[in-house]
Amino acid sequence: MNQCFLPHSSTIDSLSSGGSYELAKLSFFHNRVKKNIDLLLGETYVLPDVLASFGEFSKALSGLIDPQINFSEAQIKDKDKANKFDIYDKYFEVTRIAGMTFGQFIQQYLDSSAELINEIGYTSMSRGEVAYLLKGWEAANLLLLSIHPAKTDEDYTPEDVLQSAPTENDKRALYRWKLAHHGFAIFMILSGYCLDQASRDIEEDKVSSRTADWIDKAAHLFRSTTACMEFGNSFTSSVYRSVIRPDMSRANEEANLPNGFSGTQNLEYVTWRKKKLNFFSLLKEHGSRLKADVIESTELLRCYYLEDMHIHSIIAGRMVGIEKSLLQEGFGKKGKSIAITAGDMLRMMAKRREEETQFILKLEASS
């Protein structure tokens, strides 16, 4: 698995121009994604055809894996051993880049995406979850190509360079676990950007069909983060207990984190959550400005937001059963007794999300 390079600020707003935009590669990827969406979501689903198409898809994209991204020394941010986000990044092999260019981000996006596609065919992911990933890539490609449209005279010829995941069972589990977090981070960054654009439209009283499209993209990109977690848990609970959990526990002990690993140390999720709260606040304040298509897209976002936590609780139940999460274990070491399981905790969080988004069901379109 390759190291993942992400913007220092966890947003594409800060991406700078300069250098190659890698648009020919992005257009090539977009066309391949559309082809596989048509096959996977077609009226007839023939498994051998899907597997063959994904094999060809993976081979065509393999030349995008492990690009030689040129960073200056000043761009690479040093990690602070006392910073919870840096500790999380270190474990998941993420490096923050100051002044990241659009082209550098595209190379990382294509690298992580090609690695995921290269491995999907060997996982236990369902057709539905793979479809959510493809729809996320479609939304991401349309977004990125709208920022810098591809030139019609540019073309990309795929290179026949294959890279496979580790064959050893333990290493392959860790590979999937960490690669899933790379995909999660990129989709979350792009979803947050779309939420910001929709929020700006609402705040400036410029609500239009474009606003609905921003929210629709934000929803699909967010749902892809959930699919990434399904990808990252494509192994048995015994592998999780014997490989993944001990590996995180060792990293937690080395960093001396007081409460163990949790989403509160994931910079992409924390940043997205702030953008989501701002978006919800604006919806409540300016609900009278919303058109029917905006409300419909918002309801889709709500659906995926709720579904996300329910799926996380199912994954927790599947992987740890009646055990506690690392976060709960951290509190237990402080003498705070916690009787509920990791799955219980996530189900409680799902209930809070339902309460948080109840207002969306009461929004009424303006005339």
Q: Give pLDDT tens digits for 159-190.
A: 766 667 899 999 999 999 999 999 999 999 99
pLDDT of residue 367: 54
The half-sphere exposure of 47 on its side-chain side, counting CA atoms within 13 A, is 3
- Token pair 């063959």 is found at 52
Rounded to an integer, what distance in angstroms lies between the CA atom of residue 343 and that of residue 336? Answer: 18
Cβ-in-10-Å burial (0-12, 13-18, 19+) of 37 comes to middle
Strand partners, 96: 6
Under DSSP, the state recorded for 101 is: B
Sorted by where each begins, the domain ranges of the chain are: 4-362
Specify the DSSP element, H or E, that contains 144.
helix 127-147
Q: In degrees to the nearest 10, what's the CA dihedral of 254, 255, 261, 267?
A: -140
Nearest residue to 111 via CA among 67, 141, 76: 67
Residue 337 has pLDDT above 60, yes or no: no
**pLDDT tens-place string over residues 211-256:** 999 999 999 999 999 999 999 999 999 999 999 988 988 877 777 7
The half-sphere exposure of 269 on its side-chain side, counting CA atoms within 13 A, is 17
Q: Which residues are within 8 A (CB) of 85 and not within 5 positions of it... i.e. 6 or more apart? A: 265, 266, 267, 270
**pLDDT tens-place string over residues 124-135:** 888 889 999 999
β-strand 94-97 against 4-7: which pairing, if any? parallel
Strand partners, 101: 16
